[in-house]
Amino acid sequence: MNLAKKKTPEQKGPKKVNNPNVMGLRAQVLEQPITETLEVNYMPYAMSVIVSRAIPEIDGFKPSHRKLLYTMYQMKLLGGSRTKSANVVGATMKLNPHGDAAIYDTMVRLSRGYGALLHPLVDSKGNFGKVYSRDMAWAASRYTEVRLDPVCQELFRDIDQDAVDFVPNYDGKLTEPTLLPTTFPNVLVAANQGIAVGMASNLCGFNLGEVCDATIAYLRDPNVDLMGILKAPDFSTGGQLLYDGAALAEVYRTGRGPIKLRAKWRYIKEDNVIEIYEIPYSTTVEAILDKVAELVKAGKVREISDMRDETDLNGLKLAIDLKRGTDPDKLMNRLFQSTPLQDSFSCNFNILIAGMPRVMGVGEILDEWTAWRMDGVRRRTYFVCKKKEDKLHLLKGLKRILLDIDKAIKIIRETEEDAEVVPNLIIGFGIDQIQAEFVADIRLRNINKEYILKRVEEVSELEKEIADLKDIINSPGRIKDIIIDELKNVKKKYAAPRRTEIVYEYQQAAEEEKAAAVEEIPAYPVNVFISREGYFKKITPQSLRMSSEQKYKEGDGPYLQWEGNNGDELLVFTDKHQCYKTRLSDFDDTKASVLGDYLPTKLGMDPEEKFAWACAPGDYSAHVLFFFDNGKAARVELSAYQTQTRRRKLTGAYCDKFPLVSACLLAEDQEMAVSASDGRCVVFHTASLTPKTTRTTQGVGVMAVKAKHKVVWAKPLAATHIVNAARYRARSLPAAGALLKEEDRGEEQLTIL
C-alpha cells in the first residue's frame, strides 16, 4: 500500500516552464508561489534588517553603534589623545561590513559636535554639523578628530571580565561583543531612531540623573511610581515640554504616544526683535524658516518684517523682526499653532529583547535592563571568583612545597632531565601539574622566609574573598546593592541639569493660545456672494460701493448673499452629502468684477463633487432646514456640525436617501412655502417641525406629492411673491396644497436641481 500523501503545488516546489526566447532557443522559467517567495526570500531579509541593523537592544545601541564604539575602545581612544576620524572609520570596517560613509554618519550622530545625545559618546573636534540643522553638512572624515568621551568608561568597565558574550565578526578573524555592559540604563538616556521592515523604533532621551534615581527606586521597589521620579523626557536641543499627565502616563505604560515640544524665545524690546534660541528636537531651523516664510507670503502673518538665521559659534539663534505695535506674545502663540516651533515627538519604545522586537513601557524596560544587568554582574563576579580560585589553587600547591623546601630543592637537583622536574614534584608532594609548573618556575631569590610567610597569609585572604564572591553570586539582593552603588557613582560623576524645561500649566496655556489664535484673525465687515455653480466672493463694503455689478460665468447666476465678518466660520454643503468647514478669512478679499474662488477646487472636494448650499453658522445656536424632492423636510440643529477639533470635512452631513432640493438657515421660527412640479404649493410654520441632533435624519413629510411629481423649490414665505398666503396654509402635515394662482407665482423660482 502506498501511504505517501499527494503534494500540494506549494509543497512540490518551483515548476519548470519552457518558453521560447527571441533567439529561437528555449529557456526554462521557474514559477515560484508567492507564499514561498515571501517565506524563503523576503522574511529572512526583513528579520535581518530588524535584528542586525535598525532596532536597538537593551544596552541602547544598534549593531553599527556598538561596532564603532568597540573599535575605538580597542584603539585605546578611551582616555587617550584624539585620532583622525578616517582612521576609526577604516578600523571599524573590520567589524562592520558597510561603506565608510555609513560608518562616519553613525560616528557623527554619536559626537559631541553634532549634539544629538544628552551625553555624547564621541569627543569630537572639527565640524560635525548640528542636529537642529537640515542643510549644515559636516566635514569629511579626514578633517575631523575623535576619541571616546569619559562617560564611555561606564560602557566598557566590565568588557574584559566575561560580563557579555563575544561572537566572531563577519569574516571570522576577530571577535566582538554582542552587547556593551553599560552600568546605567543607556537605552533610556541615549535617543535612538530606526526604521526596519514593517516596524520602527523611536526612543527619546531621559535625564541621566533622573534615570539613575528611577532605576535605584525600581530595584528597591518594582511597584514604585516612576512618574514621580522620572519626570519627563529630556532632549539635547532643550526647548520646552508641554506636560500632559495622561498622555505621558500612556507613554510610560505602553511605550507609545506623542510628546509635545515647543521652542524657547525671548523678546528684545530695544530692537523690537524676537530671538528663538532653542527649538524642538524633532524639527530643524530650515523647516521653521520655510513655514514662517510661507505664512508671510500667504498674508496669514502680517506682523513680521523679516526673519533670519543668526546661528553662530555661540549657538542657535533665529531672529524675527517685528513691525511696530506688534504684541510678541500673541504673535508667538500664533506661530506655535501654525509652524514647527511647536512640534510632537512620537515615542515608539521598540527594543530587541533576546532577538525579538518588543514595544515596552518604561517600567518594562527597567525590568528587562535590571534582569540583564544582574546577570552581567553575576557573570563578572563569577569571572573574578574563578581567577581567585585559580590563584588559590596555585598557592595551595606552593604552600605544600614551602613546608619542606629542602625536599623540593633536592628533587630538582637530583633530576637529570628538565622534562622530569614537574613529574617528580607531582610525585614527591602529591600536587597536580598546574601547581607543579608554578612551583618549578619560582625564582631562586624568592625561596626565603619573608616570601614564604606572605604566600601563606595570602591563602587565607583569598579563601575569605572567594567565599564572599560566591555569596554575591548566590544573593540577588547583594547584586542589586552593587548595581545601586554603581548607579550612584554614575550619577555623581556624569549627571547634568535638565535641558528641556517642563511646562506644567499646559492645559490652561493651550486654551489661552487657542483663544488668542481666534482673536488674531483680522475682524472687519464683508459681503459674501456665492453663485449657483459655487463661485465664492468676499468683498469689503468699500469695494462693493465702488462697483456693485457682479460678474458671473455664462449660464451661472446669483444664489446666496449675506453680510458677515471676516472671522466668521463657513459651512459648505455638497451634493455628495458632505460638509466642508472653513473660515471667511481663508479666502482673499476680491472685487465684484471677478468670478471669485471656485469652492470645489478651493476646498479640495472629491472628484465629481459639486457645491449645493452654504451658510455662516455663527454661534451654532440656529437650525438648518433641508427640503427633499419627495416632500419631506428635516430640521437639524447647527450644533450637530460643531466640532472641538479643527476638522475640515464632515461626512454624512444630511440624509442621502432622497435628492436635496433646497436648504435654509433658520435663526427663528417662520412660515415656509414649498412648491411641487404640478404647480401646487403648501405654506406651513416651522414650529411644527421637531429639531433633530442627528444630521442624517430623513425628516417628516410637509407636502403630499402626487405620483410622477416632485418638490421643485422651498423658500421663506417672506421671500416669495405669494399674496394669498391663507389659500396655501396647511392645517396638518403633510398637506396636498393648492394650485398657485397667477398673481402668486411672480418670477420663475430658482432651484438647485
| DSSP β-ladder status, 671-676 and 611-615 | unpaired
Say how many Å lie between the first and final Cα of the chain, rounded.
78
Burial of residue 700 (number of CB atoms within 10 Å: 0-12, 13-18, 19+)? middle
Q: Which residues contact 664 (CB under 8 A, 6 or more apart)?
A: 624, 625, 627, 672, 714, 715, 716
Q: Under a CB-based contact definition with an 8 Å cutoff, are residues 705 and 630 in contact?
A: yes
Q: How many CB atoms lie within 10 A of CB 182?
A: 26
Q: Under a CB-based contact definition with an 8 Å cutoff, are residues 516 and 333 in contact?
A: yes
Burial of residue 685 (number of CB atoms within 10 Å: 0-12, 13-18, 19+)? middle
Burial of residue 720 (number of CB atoms within 10 Å: 0-12, 13-18, 19+)? buried
Residue 293 in grid coordinates: 516664510
Q: Under a CB-based contact definition with an 8 Å cutoff, are residues 359 and 348 in contact?
A: yes
**b (16+ CB within 10 A) / e for 450-465:** eebeebeeeeeebeeb
Residue from 611, 632, 612 nearest 710 by CA: 632
- Evaluate the CA torsion angle 661, 665, 668, 670 in order and state its sign: negative
Residue 266 in grid coordinates: 525671548
Residue from 562, 574, 743 nearest 667 by CA: 562
At residue 423's C-alpha, the angle toward residues 421 and 424, to 5°, is: 65
Q: How many CB atoms lie within 10 A of CB 422?
A: 19
At residue 441's C-alpha, the angle toward residues 435 and 442, to 5°, is: 95
In the chain, count H helices and then E strands: 23, 35
Residue from 453, 359, 360, 346 nearest 399 by CA: 453
Q: How many CB atoms lie within 10 A of CB 278?
A: 22
Q: Under a CB-based contact definition with an 8 Å cutoff, are residues 618 and 642 in contact?
A: no
What CA–CA distance (Å, rounded) separates 329 from 319? 15
Q: CA-based Rg of the chain, rounded to a whole angstrom?
A: 40
Residue 364 in grid coordinates: 518594562
Residue 613 in grid coordinates: 448650499
Q: Which residues contact 572 (CB under 8 A, 6 or more apart)?
A: 579, 580, 581, 582, 599, 603, 611, 613, 614
Residues with a catalytic annotation lie at 143
What CA–CA distance (Å, rounded) separates 282 from 295? 21
Between the alpha carbon of residue 269 and those of residues 100, 328, 394, 509, 656, the distances in Å are: 49, 10, 79, 23, 58
Burial of residue 3 (number of CB atoms within 10 Å: 0-12, 13-18, 19+)? exposed
- Evaluate the CA torsion angle 329, 333, 334, 336 in order and state its sign: positive
What CA–CA distance (Å, rounded) separates 260 from 94? 42
